Chains A and B, each alone.
Chain A
Amino acid sequence: MAVNVKTEDRPPIVETSSNHQQFTELFHLYKDRTYDFALRMLGDAHAAGDVAQDVFIRLYEHQSNHHHIEDVKSWLFIVTRNLCLNHMRNRGRQVPLDALDDQLAQTNPAVDPRQRALRRALATLESPYREALILKVYQGFAYIEIAEILGTTVPAVRAILFKARNQLRDELNRTQAKGDSYEL
């Protein structure tokens, strides 16, 4: 996978405290977005916490080894996505729906059935449709940024998001047909 990490032209060894300070700044800048992306990908707070820790461990190690990262923001989302996809492959089922419902119940005591249906429908989306939609709707990335994170082109991102919305719409309509109180 192509990540903009250059190992050549390394700077001379700098003292650890400046590394540490740089890490802390990046951490505070991106910690919530990284965690939020992982949580929406996995639908499970525990797993999202593990992934977020792994991501920042890797960032820290890269910095400690003086590996230059061209675009830290893209890099963080690329690594988070890869770790989430690994996690999903290992766990078999894409999203634990119970955990998803619990999460909704915690933040919204009066659970809106349409929100419940929507989150379940989102959970049925496969890669790369789910990532693309999350990166666009919740992270506010432009197509060109999503293309970099997914390792594809802008026209492909446009097509992916079109299909993602189509699938989401179809899934919600199916839910409605099964008798859940939802209608688009």
Chain B
Amino acid sequence: MNCEHCRQLISALVDEELTEGERGSLDEHLAQCSECAQYSEQIRELERLTSEWESSAMPRDIEQAILDRAKQKPHGWLGRVGGGSYRIPRPVAWAAVLLLALLSVNSLISRNGSTQEEQFITTPENNQPVQHIILTQADIVQTYTTGSAPADL
């Protein structure tokens, strides 16, 4: 057994993941290689030090926030503790986009064939509602895109 292989086995030994055969050849090597024996001591000391880092329980406010939301919202969630982003359920977002699309088509037709852009330029007093629709649509589309970011799964 070479030293590299021996050191891999030392790590596995610390993890209690060695077979009996491997354990035998590891002991054999350690008995005759002082450098690996020293390495073994260092890794054990490292393990002892590492495991001194105590575990943390979930803070009560996070726990409560998750449970409250599960209770309030049997289907779908809105928001989270700590000021994170709001999630709009996918079907709701699509419905809103569709509705607003229909509304703007409707408003286009009712303006006797003139487009929104022309209205916007030629009659500034009519800006508000048109602009409002455009902005709202953009907002909803934006919210939808952020709200359903890929899960990376």
What residues make up the interface of A, taking CB atoms closer than 8 Å to B? 1, 3, 5, 16, 19-20, 23-24, 27, 31-32, 34-36, 39-40, 45-46, 49-50, 52-54, 56-58, 60-61, 64, 78-79, 82-83, 86, 107, 114-115, 118-119, 122, 133, 136-138, 142-143, 158-159, 161-162, 165-166, 168-169, 172, 184
Contact = CB atoms under 8 A, between A and B. Distances in A.
Contact of B15 (A1, A107, A136, A184): A136
A30 to B, nearest CB: 10
A158 B117 CA distance: 64
B46 A53 contact: no
Interface of B: 7-8, 11-12, 14-15, 17, 42-43, 45-47, 49-59, 62-63, 65-67, 69-71, 74-77, 80-82, 84, 151-153
User: Sorted from nearest, which 9 A-B pairs have the closest CB atoms?
Assistant: A35-B58, A162-B11, A16-B74, A162-B8, A49-B62, A32-B57, A31-B58, A53-B80, A184-B42
Given A3-B153, A20-B71, A32-B57, A52 B62 contact: yes
Contacts, number: 122
A119 B49 contact: no
A49 B70 CA distance: 16
Contact of A1 (B49, B51, B75, B153): B153
A137 B153 contact: no
Contacts of B80: 50, 53-54, 57
A46 B61 CA distance: 11
B51 A137 contact: yes
Given A61-B77, A83-B152, A162-B11, 17 more contacts: A1-B153, A3-B153, A19-B74, A20-B71, A35-B57, A35-B58, A36-B56, A49-B82, A53-B62, A53-B80, A53-B81, A61-B76, A64-B76, A114-B49, A158-B11, A159-B8, A168-B50
B46 A115 contact: no
